[in-house]
Amino acid sequence: MARNETHLHPSPTRARWLALLGATLLAAFTLGVAALAQPTANAQGEPAPTEAAAPEPATPATYVGAEVCASCHTYQAETFEATMMGRIFLHEPRDGRERLGCETCHGPGSAHTENPQRDDGSADSIIAFRSGTPRPVAARNAVCLTCHENGLRTHWRGSQHEMRGLACTDCHRVMERISPRNQFVQPTEIQVCTTCHRDRRAQLYRTSHMPVREGAMQCSSCHNPHGTQNLSLLREQTPNETCYVCHAEKRGPFLYEHAPVRENCLNCHEPHGSMNESLLRVSRPRLCQQCHTESQHPAIPQNPGARFAFNRGCANCHGGMIHGSNHPSGFRIHR
């Protein structure tokens, strides 16, 4: 009976050992759970990086108004106000977009006011139009085309100037009034065009030239720099149609036509300037002798006193009707 009671009720020493064992097992279990929760170590014994929390979405930039822009950009605000666009945007806006003032073109400015950095090409960055910015030319031009993609600019996309990476601000200065019209970067249109087309500038200073230097016409009188579907950015479909805008008397119709003339005025004339009279590519009679090599009109160089080279050469007899004739004298286009 005494032995059974001893088995059912262990001694105090044994009870202490059992309690200590239970506490040890509980501590080991707790440490194991904590170890599983920690990141594992890599091959070098360094702890594996934990996943970074997803960044909070950036707040889109908002419009702040032209007054805030002018508080820092004082000089630019004054010069812009003197331009045609400045007067419209700042004083007489015609729609909600123009009422945004500076931010109509440069985009929302709240991010720029908080951190006034240059354009880095990001969505919230201020849009700058100077050359050398990270924002591509096509993106800068797209801002201008938001309003100016009609009329003469209809064929800008795919035009020669657009394909060569020309920016609107290469020719136009929006923030400052330099030219009387069209907000050019130079005082006159010819100065803008000849910045790149230097060969044409040299031709315009030849003895016989179009009256561009005198201001009677402009490069854009014949060409549309923003793009056309025609040769050499011509406003009209062909060189002849372009010439007929001013030289309507050469259009005809004629009973006897001069084939090279009907084909292309540029067969005989250099429109931008020549050292020969009437913008001729070659002096007479050699110009005519490029096609007319009949034996009675020798194509070889002649004595300056010869009757075929004297005075106006071939035009002594044929010059008055050289572009075509309705005279009954015949197909030789005599005077």
By C-alpha distance, which of 214, 219, 215 is closest to 194?
219
Look at residue 270 and tell me if it is in a domain: no
Look at residue 312 and tell me if it is in a domain: no
Owner of token pair 């950009």: 73
CA distance 278 to 269: 8
Look at residue 55 and tell me if it is in a domain: no
For residue 328 the two structure tokens come to 């009954």
Structural domains of the chain, count: 1
Choice between 90 and 301, residue whose per-residue pLDDT is larger: 90
> Over 50: is that where the pLDDT of 53 sits?
yes
Look at residue 82 and tell me if it is in a domain: yes
CA distance 65 to 99: 9
Look at residue 100 and tell me if it is in a domain: yes
Share of the chain above pLDDT 90, in %: 54
Residue-averaged pLDDT of the chain: 83
Owner of token pair 């009279």: 277
Look at residue 328 and tell me if it is in a domain: no
pLDDT digits (tens, 9 = 90+) for 305-334: 566 666 677 877 776 678 888 887 766 776
Size (the chain), residues: 335
Look at residue 102 and tell me if it is in a domain: yes
Contacts 24+ apart (CB under 8 A), 313-319: 313/284, 313/285, 313/288, 314/284, 314/285, 314/288, 315/284
Question: Is the full-model pTM beyond 0.85?
Answer: no
pLDDT digits (tens, 9 = 90+) for 103-123: 999 999 998 988 888 778 787
Domain residue limits at 109 = 63-180
Look at residue 84 and tell me if it is in a domain: yes
Q: Is 317 helix (H, G, I), strand (E, B) or coil?
A: helix
DSSP state of 56: P
